[in-house]
Each structure stands twice: as C-alpha cells, then as structure tokens.
Amino acid sequence: METKFFSLTVEETLRKLHSSTNGLSSKEVLTRREKDGANVLEAKKHSTLLEKFVAQFKDLMIIILMIAALISMLAGEVSDSIIIFIVVFLNAVFGVFQETKAENAIDSLKEMTTPFSRVKRDGIISQIKSTELVSGDIILLEAGDIVPADARIISQNALRAEEAALTGESVPVSKDIRPLTDENPPLGERSNMLFMNTVIANGTAEAVVVATGMRTEVGHVAKMLDSAEDSVTPLQKNITHLSKVLTVLILIIAVVIFVFGALTKRESILDMLLTSISLAVAAIPEGLPAIVTITLALGTQAMSRKNALVRKLPAVETLGTCEIICSDKTGTLTQNKMRVEQFYADQTLQKALDFDKKNAPNLQLAMILANDAKESENGPIGDPTETALLDFFVENGASAKIQTVQHDYPRLASLPFDSNRKLMSAVVEHKGQKILFTKGAVDELLKRVTKIEENGDVRPINASDKQQILEMNKQLAFQALRVLGYAYRPLDELDELTSENYEKDLIFTGMTGMIDPQRPEVENAVFEAKNAGIKTIMITGDHKETARAIAIRLGIIAESDLNGVITGSELDELSDSELQKNIEKYSVYARVAPEHKVRIVKAWQARGKIVAMTGDGVNDAPALKQADIGVGMGITGTEASKNAADIVLADDNFATIIVAVKEGRKVFANIQKAVQYLLSANLGEVLTLFMMTMLNWSIFAPVQILWINLVTDTFPAIALGIEKSEKNVMTQKPRGSKSNFLSNGVGFAIIYQGLLEGLLTLGVYLWAVTFPVHSGSVAIHADALTMAYATLGMIQLFHAFNSKSIHETIFTKKTFENKFFNLAVLVSAVLLASTIFIPGLNSIFHVSSLSWMQWSIVLMAGVLMIVIVETVKLFTRQKMSVNSDEGSK
C-alpha cells in the first residue's frame, strides 16, 4: 500500500523512511540506489527504423497499391509500376519520420529533470547529480531551483512553489510542514509536499525525498503517456474503409470479366487475364494516397502561415471534424500573468483603468514597497502576484514612479510572507521617518488594523468599516479575483523585527483585486466555435469559483448555469459509466489531476465525439495523446506537451485553433472533392470496360487505361486540394466520427456521375460505329475505340470542373480562380491528346488519328457531362433548401 506522506508528521515521515535530519549514511545510499535505481524517467523501448519502415506496409491501402504495381509490371507497364512504388516508398518514409517525432514525448520529460541537487548526507551538505538521489535523502532548495524528486517538506521559510506544469495552478502555491487531514487531497492542495520538475518560486526549504524516477507524480504522468494508445484519426478510418470497398469491387468485377470472357471464348485466356488486369488497375485510384498526402501537406503550409504548426499530417483534417475542444485554462484561455483589475480605496471600488493615481497615495506606496519583485530590462521579475502590482504602474505609463519610490524609500528590513499569518511587510525610511508597509490576506490584515485612511485623513476603524471591507473582499473573490489588502504604520524606532512587534496598530489604506486575465481574442473564438457546432470545455487546476468566473467571462457557460462546473474530487465519485452518461452536463472542470483529463477525453470519445485537447504542461501530455487531436502551446508549452501534440500553436492563441478548424474543414472538403472526382472517373472506366466486354465490342488496351489514369487522375485531383473554402464553412455542424468521404451526397454523386461518364463514352463509341468516317471494319472499330479513348479521358477533365463543388454551381467568377487547377487540366489534356496527334505515339497507344468532326463529338460529350451534372446539382440544392426550411420550422 502506498504511503501517504502528506498525512504524516515530519518525525513520522523520517521514521518511515529510516532517515534523519542529518540525511542518510553513504553506505545506506549505496544500498538504496541498488534497490531504487536511478532517479530518471524511463521510456519504453523504441522500435528500430527498419521495424517502423516495415510496419508502414501493413496498411491495407498500401498493400493494394503494391499489388497494383505488380499487376502493372506483369502487364508490361514498368513505368507505371515504378511510379506506384515511389508513392508507396515516400509514404513509408514519411510515416517513419512522424512516428519517430511522436516518440520524443517521454524523452522530453526525461530531459526536463534538473541535473544537480544539494543534498545532506552524513550531516554534510554537498552537490550531487540528481539522478543519484534516493528515497530518504535530505535535499536543500531555494528560489529558482527545480525540484529533483517528490519530497516531504521538513522545514521551510516563506516557501512557495510554481506547480502550473503539473497541477495547472496559475499562481505559486504556499507550502508548510503541517500534516494534512484529508484522506486524498488533489496534488494542488498537498501543501507539505514538493513534486519533481516543479519550481521553487520563493523562500527556502529542507525536504526528505519520498519518491524518485517513475515513482514520482511526474513519473506517473510519463507512465500514462507511455501507455496511452495512439488514436486512429477519422481520415485514416475513411481511407481504410474505402480501401476495403475498393478491394471487394475490384475482385468481383475482375473475376466476372475474366470468367465471362473465358466461358464465351471471345478472347484467349491470356487476353482476358490482361483485360481483367487493366480493369483492376482502372478500379484502383492509385493516386489517392499521394493526393491525400499532398492536400494535407498544402493544408499544413496554410496552417503554419497562421501560427498552427502541424506535427502529424492527418491532424490537419481531423481538427476539421472536432466536436469538442477540451482546453487547459492557464496559458491557453488566460495569459498566465496576473493583472490588477480592481481597486478599493476611500470606501470606493474602481476599475484599474479608472483608478486616479493622485488618490490613495499610501496604497500606491504599499503596492510598490511591500513587494519583493525587481525591475529588469524586460519588466518586473519575481512572484506573479507581486510583478502584477508593478506592472500596473508600467502599463499606465508610471514606470518611473517605481524607481523614484524605491529610491526615495530605501528598504531597511522585511518580514517575508508566511503561510500561517498570510502577510508580508517591509520597513522603509523616508526623510528620516521609518514606515512599515504591509500587504496580505484581507481577513488576517484586519485583525491587526486599528485605523483606516479615507480621503487622506486617518481615523479609528469601526465595526461598520470592517464589515464593509469584508463584504467587498467577498464580492471581489466571488468574481475570481485574488484580493490583497494593504496597510501601513509609522515607526518610532527599529527594534527586533518580529510580526508581534511590528504588524500591529496598522492603518488600512485599501485593497486590490487581481486575476489571470483571459486572452482578449478568446471570447470571440469561443463564440465562433459555438456557431460552428463545437463545444468548448475548460479544464483547470484552479479553484471552482475562479474557474466558474473565467468560464462565464469567456462565454463557455452562462451565469445561470449552476451545474456546469465540477471539481476533480466530485469527478472521482463518478464511475466511468456515470461520467459518460452525464458528460454533456459539464463544461468546466476545476481542481483536476492529469488522470482526470484523460478520463474526460475518453468519456466524450465513448459518446462518439471527435475530441481536441489543448494544453501546455507536463500534466496535459497524456490527454493530448489520448485525444483525437492534441494541440500544444509553442511559447509556454513544455517539450513533453509539444511532442505529445499533433498540432502546436506558435502564438499560444486559442483563437488560432478556430482558424485551424476552418482550414481542417476546407482540407476535408477538398479531399472529398478529389475522392468524388477520382472514384466517379474510375467507376466510369470500369463500367465502360465492363459493358464493352459484355457487348463483345473492342476493348481498351491496358496501356490506354493506364495512361488515362496517369494523366487525368493525378494532376486535376491534386489541384482540387488547393481550392479555397466554400462559403458558410464555419456555420455548418461538425461532420463527427460517423462521417466519411462518401457522406453529404458524395456517394450518390460518384455513382450517377460514374454511370454518366460510362454511358457518354459508350454512346460516342456507338456513334462512331454507326456514322463511320472511314470505310472498312478495322478502320471503323479503330476510330470508334480511339474516340471512346479520347472521350473517356476528356470527359474526366471536363468533370474535374464539376468536382470543384459538390453541390454549388461552377458558373461563378471563382470557377477559374485556381490557376494551378487550370494549368493541371490543360497539361492533362495535352498529354492525352498527344497520344493521338503525335504520329510516333499512335502505334504505342493503339489509336488512330481523328478528324475535326470526330473531335467535336468528343468535346460535345464533355460539355454534356457538365450540363447534366449542373442540372442534378440544381435540383439537389432546391431539395436541400426545402429540407432546411422544414427543419427550421
């Protein structure tokens, strides 16, 4: 059973660990090091590059591509098979690169550990490597140190620790040595404990190591990160499903063609095998993986220009499907920087922006002088609460006042902050007069106040004054403001500096209310997300009321929503099934631990939702990996969170996520257009060959089918990947996990458009046979086959324009805006036509020259393809409009 050291006294802790205030003996250290091992974070053994490379070929679509390459090679088309193998190889190399980058998540946790520690052994203080620490070691810490292991504090002076990276708490936490009575308090409330990789913000401490390496709290995070399974993205699911459908289609049709031809003895067994092979190659859109990759890569470049750096290509599209954004508060929704927001002085509450700097001069002096923060070239440095007080003057153009006051009121002595009395005082001197300035918790300060300053006058404080101050304190606290009270006292002489001697008979001068403010752009981003059908969830280590106030400000919850906030302790009382059942009730999670974040993500995923998780701390890494899309912070984020994320925000701006969502939706729409174009074109090819075989007509040679695929599939489909977003892309509901490439009418479009292509091609073939230009059976069928070949190719290029929008008309000014698309279609048309126009290529591609009249028939079929599809689109839009009106009623 794990020992709960936070519940033990210092003496009990030392006895439990068989240690003392003098530390361990050298002999005991060696024994424990052999037992405990090194104080390092372990990572699971990574697979080799060869193993990663081989694993890339287990994907069903890749297997189909390789089979297609072999079939093409057997058919004599070596160049085509080489192209397919190149695509497969590049995809495998890219996959290895991405997998290797993802494995750095746990390694980055390991690198965060501080290299050296001060330790007391045999009563002697020395500096050792942090990796050599063992349980029972006595470590010495001071401001700026990174805590090297989990430890129980045994003595401290004004100790505060910055634990945001582990607990999400936005301000340093005060520490003491008293044992806790709660059975299992959250990490952020274990005030007598220090945790590995957190930072000492203020004061000094001695502590005894209770856990090292993977047994620490951050080690627990590393284990969760190590064991978290990589989620399969919707894009990957769609491609896998599509590949299975294509496999079945290819096998059925190819077998039918082969069997039919063999039974009728129309062709030899070898000829029918080649026919089946050409049909199989036609049915496989071998350019699809390359087109998906290129479209995603183009989306990646667009996102990077907007400060969203993509680490894993599928994340581009996945973000466009997300329905839930679970966001860490500190540093993501807020600025992770305290700011003075309200003042209370002269019995008046004022906003910081409206504060008259001529009033309450002693309040201003207390803000500057009862303050350990220091000025630097880059602004005030020190405790975030104290730097916020100085920042107030800097932001309001009064930075010179700080230097003047500190120069005119030199500090003589100070009483540091103590978590018991919750006060901090400084003794200064001005023109021979010694003055004590004190700041701290309002309720504690009032116990030592006997007078109050009001409009420059000092009078005795009464019960009514104190009641009003406490009510105002409560009002500010309810707004999630961190409230500090200020007082001062002239001194006659400087005796022994103790709280009892000096922090008494104080004159109350005012209060300030501070908060870690929300990023200014976040409120609008949350509103945009809501319009796009995306629910924003806030997850934080802050107290419940602080979290509620911030969430209300951001529009995440309404002020009337009393049930939308839940704490980590309350979450622990819910089983996974109960949480899953009630998950939609909660929009804000306060005082949470790392495992809570993973539970929240899993609960939404169990409801079939696509979940994005943002975060910047070590504590966010497991949830970032568990989520469908992990979004890390580039500026404030730890390396662990960045490496666990799929996307990293270079500006730490929540609003950038919404921009990325828009880009993700555009990417999916463009891939869907490419899929519609490719599959409808390939279906047209399949139907054409199938019907030619069934009707005993001349059939395309494998080289003709392969050339049509090569020149008409790839270039236009890639060009479709850089189409601009269609209107209203951010007012549509998310597609969700059940959507796929065939959703939104695309499946129907593929079928009817494929049939249309096949019928038009067969119609041209029939016209050529019925109205021949040349005489002789061989010449007639040669012309008919050439016209069908040209029609099948050209009709696909005309259809590429249809595919620029699934439902909208192409007859707009934007039709020819995509210059790359126009060039792609032109190049494809030239490559196709060259096989007919260039004499040397005629025999290679088994085609004959066509007259201008024959070419006009071919082009007319292409135009007819656009007219028919546009007509169907018109009726589809009208039907959608009617359904939308009925739904709104």
Query: What is the Cα Rg of the chain in Å?
Result: 36
- Written as six digits, the tokens of 132 are 């050599």
Is 328 among the catalytic positions? yes
HSE on the CB side for 508, CA within 13 Å? 32
Q: Which of 43, 259, 246 is nearest to 693 (CA)?
A: 259
Q: Are 411 and 426 in contact (CB under 8 A)?
A: yes
* Longest Cα–Cα distance in the chain: 125
In sequence order, what are the beta bridge partners of 350? 343
SS3 state at 5:
helix
**Tally of CB atoms within 10 A around 99:** 18
SS3 state at 515:
strand
Q: Which of 566, 564, 540, 569 is nearest to 552 (CA)?
A: 564
- Written as six digits, the tokens of 404 are 């003047």
Q: Are 112 and 640 in contact (CB under 8 A)?
A: yes
CA-to-CA dists, residue 754 to 75, 683, 721, 744, 761, angstroms: 25, 5, 21, 17, 11
In sequence order, what are the beta bridge partners of 79? none
Length of the chain: 889
**Tally of CB atoms within 10 A around 4:** 14
Q: CB neighbours of 702 closer than 8 A, spacing ≥ 6?
A: 75, 76, 77, 274, 277, 278, 281
- Written as six digits, the tokens of 657 are 């996520």
Out of 328, 516, 616, 620, the active site residue is 328
Q: From CA 505, how far away is CA 328, in angstroms rounded?
A: 44
SS3 state at 45:
coil
Q: Which of 216, 172, 169 is nearest to 42 (CA)?
A: 216
Residue 456, amino acid = G
- Written as six digits, the tokens of 435 are 């003055």
**Torsion angle of alpha carbons 610, 615, 621, 624, nearest 10°?**
10
**Torsion angle of alpha carbons 162, 166, 170, 176, nearest 10°?**
-50
Give CA angle at 166 (165, 171), nearest 5°: 65
- The residue with tokens 């303050």 is 371
Q: From CA 303, how far away is CA 248, in angstroms rounded?
A: 37
Q: Which of 452, 509, 418 is nearest to 204 (CA)?
A: 418
Q: Are 709 and 286 in contact (CB under 8 A)?
A: yes
Q: From CA 496, how far away is CA 490, in angstroms rounded?
A: 16
- Written as six digits, the tokens of 450 are 């006997």
Q: From CA 792, how far away is CA 687, in angstroms rounded?
A: 11
Residues tagged active-site: 328
